[in-house]
Structure 1
Amino acid sequence: MIVPANPAPLSRYPPISMKNGELALIDQIRATFAHRPTPTIPLGIGDDCAILRPPPGHELLVTTDFTLEGRHFRRDLHPAASVGHRCLARGLSDLAAMGATPLAAFLSLALPAGLPTTAKGRRWIASFLEGLHTLAQSAKVTLAGGDTSQSPSDHILADIILIGTAPTGTALRRSTARPGDHIHVTGQLGGSAAELQTLLTGKRIHPTQTSPHFYPTPRLKQGLHLRSQKLATACIDLSDGLSTDLTHLCESSRVRAEIEAAALPIHPKATFNLAVNGGEDYELLFTAAPATRIPKQIAGVPITRVGTIHRASRARPQITVLNPDGTTHPLKAGGWEHFKA
């Protein structure tokens, strides 16, 4: 059985009583994410709508992500606290890619009919909320509302909406890379996919808070620094794998890219293939002008230059890999894509 290392005692977030059905679940969520009015969120959970008030001169950035049992997690492989953490981390990583400051989150949660009726199920729900709440506190984001429902199947379904802010006109985008720009990534690549690969072989894992698959760290501080210091010309988060996400950036910016294989910061547990195609690293890939001095670290996270942006050419692949021996080969989008045969 996979359990989180040093889990917070569930007495902090006591399992809900289902005597009153959905209302008890809502009360549990409200108690877990208690919020006092602030200038930016004068009204959170408890009314028909939340009220948000972004700082003057800022615009809102909005993203949404599913977390679906059987697609994004398995109850027999992922601790509930990890599922809650990952549910929120997906949206926070999108905000990080645009240099946004998190403002509010909205959680919609559909549970199988039998889950809240057993002690084991209630513990799962409490641990899920604990994992989400712990990351929310770290990221300083408020759960301001959402919805609850009975799932139409035996699967748990969750959707998270994240809202962030950035000074008007300053948000980082994936469509603004320029020929000659250098390509950089934060952290290490392939660690999440390597851990998942191990899980799927049936090997037992004891995840810690630094396990890249179970508890990824959205690079909010790094994205904010890139935007506020005007270091990046374009940025995207690595959720579907470098090969796929860099393809998105190249298509949006109408450029091509060359990656240096030897420069990739591959996680010690990973291979080259997992580093470029694995996905769920939630690192940032960004471009910067050649004259821009990029620090070796931002908020303690290493920054590595991995390639260069070039002018698009019909005669050249959209992404090529430069091998250590000087040869090159094309890199097709090989990361995750829904509905792909």
Structure 2
Amino acid sequence: MRNPPGEINELALVDTIKAASGHRSMGRVQVGIGDDCAVIRPPAGHEIVVTTDFCLEGRHFRRDWHTPESAGHRCLARGLSDLAAMGAKPVAAFLSLALPRGTDRSWVDGFFRGLRALADAVDVPLAGGDTAASPGEHILADIVLVGSVPAGKALLRSTATAGDLIYVTGHLGGSAADLKELANAPGEIRKSGEHPQLFPAPRLAVGQALLRRKLATSCIDVSDGLSSDLKHLCDASHLSAELMLTALPIHPLASGSLDLALNGGEDYELLFSAKPTTRIPASIGGVRITRIGTFTARKPRAAITTIDESGKRRKLAVGGWEHRFG
């Protein structure tokens, strides 16, 4: 049966994916798209790190809010941000994509334009994946990122100690503020300026610098929200934390909203700790670095205390994104 005009079939989809891979099969990726498996060669003295992220229509993007280029960019950026938090260099990407019947080819082409533009910018080849028909009406994408770090040197969540200072890159709350505007006027927002919700910038160079210069004692990316991800660091390192509210670098789009800065999510900045004796620069690679707090001893369980402009202390109720099932 012939596909309706504009609809993409499986062979055409595979051709589109091959084009998006850039046909790069030298160096790190020895064998890429076209065989049963990819063959990857990590650099000598390095370990492989792997992360995987779903990118689901209706949950992580909406076709009426996000352009296809934005959806493709965001799909890859989610995995790249995880690599950044480990201080890793990207080696290869793998994409599994399930499309509902009737998906327009122009949308798929735009999705891969957005994905490839970011892949080219950070020099990571698309080395494989899978395609399938979606069981429902939504697009389902799963991105797998493979990276490399010097053996035994990966940045972890579990290695902070009491007294370490807490830092964050860039700004907070901008992506959540953007999302609110998209809900109100998606067409207008998509036409204007740079927006962290549509095209987030994973902090790969910063993460690699933190590892290479031995600056960080722990690290995580801010994907669920500052409050949630700081709690993850506290839990992993068995610590509590004090957070200075007046120090938070709130994105201009968030209009000074503490709630968006603390709980908004999808900022894809890096939250990390460092020894008090370590000199942390004000910026790395043009990305602002801000000290926002201190890790303290756990008493008796991990907790986050906020300190406001008057010095008043309050226990922080953790917000941000939480995956729910059922």
Query: Where on the TM-score scale, by shorter chain, does this alignment land: which range?
Result: over 0.9
What is the CA distance between 1:307 and its match in structure 2?
A: 0.4
- Which amino acid in structure 2 is aligned with residue 42 of structure 1? Q
What is the CA distance between 1:32 and its match in structure 2?
A: 2.6
Q: Distance in 2 between matches of 1:160 and 1:39?
A: 21
- Aligned 1:216-235 pairs, distance under 5 A: 216-235=200-219
Q: Does the Cα contact within 8 Å between 2:7 and 2:102 map onto a contact in 1?
A: no
Q: Against the structure 1 CA distance between its residues 142 and 113, is the aligned structure 2 distance closer, same or farther, given a 3 Å change threshold?
A: same
Q: Against the structure 1 CA distance between its residues 17 and 336, is the aligned structure 2 distance closer, same or farther, given a 3 Å change threshold?
A: closer
- Which amino acid in structure 2 is aligned with residue 71 of structure 1? R
Tell me the TM-score normalised to structure 2 length: 0.95
Q: Distance in 2 between matches of 1:194 and 1:322?
A: 24
Q: Against the structure 1 CA distance between its residues 208 and 47, is the aligned structure 2 distance closer, same or farther, given a 3 Å change threshold?
A: farther
1:292-312 per-residue CA deviation (whole Å, 9 max, x = no partner) reads 000000000010000000000
Specify the SS of the correspondent of 1:205: helix
1:273-302 per-residue CA deviation (whole Å, 9 max, x = no partner) reads 000000000000000000000000000001
- From 99, 113, 130, the counterpart of 1:111: 99
Tell me the TM-score normalised to structure 1 length: 0.91
- Percent of residue pairs bearing the same amino acid type: 58
- Which amino acid in structure 1 is aligned with residue 162 of structure 2? P
Long gaps (5+) in structure 2: none
Stretch deviating more after TM superposition (269-278 or 30-39): 30-39
1:202-246 per-residue CA deviation (whole Å, 9 max, x = no partner) reads 463135673111000000000000000000000000000000000
Q: Against the structure 1 CA distance between its residues 338 and 102, is the aligned structure 2 distance closer, same or farther, given a 3 Å change threshold?
A: same
- Which amino acid in structure 2 is aligned with residue 193 of structure 1? A
Q: Distance in 1 between matches of 2:28 and 2:191?
A: 35
Q: Against the structure 1 CA distance between its residues 34 and 202, is the aligned structure 2 distance closer, same or farther, given a 3 Å change threshold?
A: closer
Q: Against the structure 1 CA distance between its residues 252 and 207, is the aligned structure 2 distance closer, same or farther, given a 3 Å change threshold?
A: farther
**Partner residue in 1 for 2:311:** 326
Q: Against the structure 1 CA distance between its residues 340 and 289, is the aligned structure 2 distance closer, same or farther, given a 3 Å change threshold?
A: farther
**Partner residue in 2 for 1:212:** 196
Q: Does the Cα contact within 8 Å between 1:16 and 1:126 map onto a contact in 2?
A: no
Long gaps (5+) in structure 1: 1-14, 116-120
What is the CA distance between 1:332 and its match in structure 2?
A: 2.2
- Aligned 1:87-126 pairs, distance under 5 A: 87-115=75-103, 121-126=104-109
1:312 equivalent to 2:316? Answer no
- From 21, 30, 52, the counterpart of 1:33: 21
What is the CA distance between 1:24 and its match in structure 2?
A: 1.6
1:82-129 per-residue CA deviation (whole Å, 9 max, x = no partner) reads 0000000000000000000000000000001111xxxxx111000000
Specify the SS of the correspondent of 1:152: coil
Specify the SS of the correspondent of 2:148: strand
- From 269, 279, 283, the counterpart of 1:297: 283
1:163-185 per-residue CA deviation (whole Å, 9 max, x = no partner) reads 00001000000001110000000
Stretch deviating more after TM superposition (99-108 or 40-49): 40-49
* Matched residues, number: 319
Specify the SS of the correspondent of 1:320: strand
- Which amino acid in structure 1 is aligned with residue 234 of structure 2? C
1:309-334 per-residue CA deviation (whole Å, 9 max, x = no partner) reads 000002x8610110000101111220
Q: Does the Cα contact within 8 Å between 1:16 and 1:25 map onto a contact in 2?
A: no
Q: Does the Cα contact within 8 Å between 2:169 and 2:289 map onto a contact in 1?
A: yes
**Partner residue in 2 for 1:10:** none
**Partner residue in 2 for 1:180:** 163
Q: Distance in 2 between matches of 1:102 and 1:283?
A: 17
1:181-210 per-residue CA deviation (whole Å, 9 max, x = no partner) reads 000000000000001012223463135673
Specify the SS of the correspondent of 1:337: coil
- Which amino acid in structure 2 is aligned with residue 320 of structure 1? T
